[in-house]
Amino acid sequence: MNKQKMFFRLLVCISIVFIVYAFVYNYVIDPGAETFLSHKTGLTRELNVPVWLNVMYIHVAFACVAMAAGLLNFSKRIFAKSRKFHRLNGYLYFVSVFIVVLTSGYMAPYATGGKIVSIGFNAINIIWPLITIIALVQIKKKRMTQHRNWMIRSYAFCFTNMVLHLITAMVNRGFGLDYPTSYTIGVYGAIVVLLVIPPIVIRLIGDWQVTS
């Protein structure tokens, strides 16, 4: 099995597990986000919980759509069967990313950890769509390899929440720091990880070919 196929299969497993977890946790186990909201202290503006929850539901739903759409477009089998589907699915990914970013923009001022965390989220809300636009521009110019590499960079940000909470849990439980501080480290740590890992992946798998 070549590196590209191994990478894709690993990506499929991680993505499916995360999508299932996100839906079950946010819509079944804790639909009121009570655990997460309990960490929000010292907010400088009043939080309208019903509105925030509805925005959060949209945010989670389209984050999962973006993850699924991006994953499908890395499949050689689907690409070979229908380039039209690949193109339309790519636009679905593009739109989903911007909906995720817009909803994140609404929630950022209420972020756990205060203004410094809000700045971190707003940085992600600039970086992710910018990278995605670059990927779109590359395919419009028929630069397939560059398009795929930029899509790898863009797709990495679908895992923002997962990486953020992994780092937060490690810092909070491993080093005993309070949750807001751990969450702050998680946000900025996630930005670094999601910018550093894609170029490493691109180098490891060589000349990226869409794989099945």
Give domain status of residue 210, yes or no: no
* pLDDT, mean of residues 43-70: 93
Give domain status of residue 212, yes or no: no
Task: Report CA torsion sign: 189, 190, 195, 200.
Answer: positive
Give domain status of residue 24, yes or no: yes
Residue 197 · residue 147 · CB < 8 Å? no
Helices (H), the chain: 3-24, 34-37, 49-72, 76-81, 83-107, 115-140, 144-156, 160-169, 179-205
pLDDT of 209 higher than 60: no
CA triplet 175, 178, 181: central angle to 5 degrees? 95
- Give the contacts of 188 (CB within 8 A, at least 6 positions apart): 120
Give domain status of residue 30, yes or no: yes
Tokens of 80: 């070979």
Give domain status of residue 187, yes or no: yes
Q: pTM of the entire structure? A: 0.91
Residue 8 · residue 74 · CB < 8 Å? yes
Residue 193 · residue 163 · CB < 8 Å? yes
Give domain status of residue 211, yes or no: no
> What's residue 1's pLDDT?
52
Instruction: Tell me the CA distances in angstroms from 49 to 101, 107, 119, 144, 184, one per residue in order.
Output: 19, 11, 21, 44, 22
Q: How many residues would you count in the chain?
A: 212
> What's residue 207's pLDDT?
61
Domain that holds residue 99: 3-205
**pLDDT tens per residue, range 33-47:** 998 888 887 677 788
Three-state secondary structure call for residue 179: helix
Per cent of the chain over pLDDT 70 is: 96
At 23, which amino acid appears? Answer: F
**DSSP state letter for 14:** H
The total number of structural domains that make up the chain: 1
Residue 97 · residue 66 · CB < 8 Å? yes
